[in-house]
C-alpha cells in the first residue's frame, strides 16, 4: 500500500493546493486558476466575446446541416470541492457556469453542453478526476463522453469498462509531478480494446513519435480514426479540443477521442480551440465538437484558423 502523499512528501508548490486525502488542485499557473473563481474573475468582456464567437459557429454549422456541441472541461476546483478547504473560492463563479448565464438568451445556448452539474452530481461517490492530475479518471472521461452524446442525440456506448486492458499502476499526474519527490497515487487502467484505428497523423505528431514522445504533440496536432466494426454509428465527427480529448490514449487518464473513435465510423481530432472552416468544408462531418479546458477560457479563440499552418509553426518552434 502506498502511504498517503502528505505523509511522504512535505514539499509544497506555489501553483498547487494540497487538499484532504491526497487531493491536489491547480490554483495558480499562467492562467491564475483560483483567481478565475474570485471577483472579478474572468472579465465580462471576455464572456461577451465568447457569446459572439459561439453564435457565429452555431450559425455557420447549422447552415451546413451540422450538429454542434461546445464543451467546457470543468476545473477540478468546480467539482471535487469536498477535497479542499481554506481557499475561500465560490463555485458559482465557475467560468463554465458564468458562460452558461451569458448565453441564456442567445441562440448559441442550445449548443452548450453542461458538464458541471452532472459531474457535481456524481462527484460525491465517484472520483471523476485523478488525485494528482488536472484530468479525468476513466469514469470522468466516460461521463463527459456520455453527456456530449446525449446532447448530440447519439446513444452512448456502455461496454467500455468490460473491454479495459491493463492493471492498476503507480501514477504521478501533471500536478503530482510538480513536487520533489513526486506525489503519486494508484490509478486504475483507462485504456480499452477497440477496433478503431488511426489512419492519419500529421507531421507534427509523427515528428514527436519519432522521438518516442508522441503524447507531447499538442497545439497543431491532427489525427484521423476509422472504425470498420459492424453496428457502429456510420456518421463522421470532428473534434477540436485539447488534453481532455487528446489524439493518443493515456493509461492513467480518461480522454474523449478514444470513446468517440469507438462510437463513430470516422473521427477527426484537431488540437485547437479554434475551428478550421476549410477542413469542415472538405470533410463535411455530421457533428462538430469544440472542447476547451475551463482555465483556458480567459483567451477567446482566434478565427481564420488553419491546422496545416499551425502545425508547420509548431514544428518550426520544435526545432531539430
Calculate mean pLDDT across residues 264-275.
98
Residue 36 CB contacts under 8 Å (≥ 6 apart), including other chains:
42, 75, 93, 95, 294, 295, 297, 298
Compare 22 and 148 and report the one with higher pLDDT: 148
pLDDT in tens, 25-35: 999 988 999 99
Q: What is the pLDDT of residue 318?
A: 78
What's the pLDDT tens digit per position in 37-84? 888 899 999 999 999 999 999 999 999 999 999 999 999 988 987 666
Nearest partner of 135 among 272, 24, 20, judged by Cα: 24
The per-residue pLDDT for range 206-245, each reduced to its tens digit, is 999 999 999 999 999 999 999 999 999 999 999 999 999 9
Q: 3-state DSSP call for residue 104?
A: coil
pTM of the complete model: 0.94
pLDDT at 10 over 90: no
Q: Is the pLDDT of residue 7 over 50?
A: no
- Check whether 4 has a pLDDT greater than 60: no
Pick from 246, 302, 312: which is nearest to 273 by CA? 302
Under the banding of pLDDT at 50, 70 and 90, the label for residue 174 is very high
Per-residue confidence (pLDDT) for residue 135, from 0 to 100: 98
CA 203 to each of CA 149, 307, 309: distance values in angstroms, whole numbers, following the listed order: 30, 11, 12
Residue 151 is predicted with a pLDDT of 98
Percent of the chain with pLDDT over 90: 84
DSSP 265-309: EEEEEEE-SS--HHHHHHH--SEEEEEEEGGGGGSPPPSS--HHH
Residue 134: is its pLDDT beyond 70?
yes
The pLDDT of residue 284 is 98
- The grid cell for 311 is 502545425
Among the residue ranges 4-8, 94-98, 277-281, the one predicted with the least confidence is 4-8
* pLDDT for residue 91: 82
pLDDT at 6 over 50: no
Amino acid at each position: 500500500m502506498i502511504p498517503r502523499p502528505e505523509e511522504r512528501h512535505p514539499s509544497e508548490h506555489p501553483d498547487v493546493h494540497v487538499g484532504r486525502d491526497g487531493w491536489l488542485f491547480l490554483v495558480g499557473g499562467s492562467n491564475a486558476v483560483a483567481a478565475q473563481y474570485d471577483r472579478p474573475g474572468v472579465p465580462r468582456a471576455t464572456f461577451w466575446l465568447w457569446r459572439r464567437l459561439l453564435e457565429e459557429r452555431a450559425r455557420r454549422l447549422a447552415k451546413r446541416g451540422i450538429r454542434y456541441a461546445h464543451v467546457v472541461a470543468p476545473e477540478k476546483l468546480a467539482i471535487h470541492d469536498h477535497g479542499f478547504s481554506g481557499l475561500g473560492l465560490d463555485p458559482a463563479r465557475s467560468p463554465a457556469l458564468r458562460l452558461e448565464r451569458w448565453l441564456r438568451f442567445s441562440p448559441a445556448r442550445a449548443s452548450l453542453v453542461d458538464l458541471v452539474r452532472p459531474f457535481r452530481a456524481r462527484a460525491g461517490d465517484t472520483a471523476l478526476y485523478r488525485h494528482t492530475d488536472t484530468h479525468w479518471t476513466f469514469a470522468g472521461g466516460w461521463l463527459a463522453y456520455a453527456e456530449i452524446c446525449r446532447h448530440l442525440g447519439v446513444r452512448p456506448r456502455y461496454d467500455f469498462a468490460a473491454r479495459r486492458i491493463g492493471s492498476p499502476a503507480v501514477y504521478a499526474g501533471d500536478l503530482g509531478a510538480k513536487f520533489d519527490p513526486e506525489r503519486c497515487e494508484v490509478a486504475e487502467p483507462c485504456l480499452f480494446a477497440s477496433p478503431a484505428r488511426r489512419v492519419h497523423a500529421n507531421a507534427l505528431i509523427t515528428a514527436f513519435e519519432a522521438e518516442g514522445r508522441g503524447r507531447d504533440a499538442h497545439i497543431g496536432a491532427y489525427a484521423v480514426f476509422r472504425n470498420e466494426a459492424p453496428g457502429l454509428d456510420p456518421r463522421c465527427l470532428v473534434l477540436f479540443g485539447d488534453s481532455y480529448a487528446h489524439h493518443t490514449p493515456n493509461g492513467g487518464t480518461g480522454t474523449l477521442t478514444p470513446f468517440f473513435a469507438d462510437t463513430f465510423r470516422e473521427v477527426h481530432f484537431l488540437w485547437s480551440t479554434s475551428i478550421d472552416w476549410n477542413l469542415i468544408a472538405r470533410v463535411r462531418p455530421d457533428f462538430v465538437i469544440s472542447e476547451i479546458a475551463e482555465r483556458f477560457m480567459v483567451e477567446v479563440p482566434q478565427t481564420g484558423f488553419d491546422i496545416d499552418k499551425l502545425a508547420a509553426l509548431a514544428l518550426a518552434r520544435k526545432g531539430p
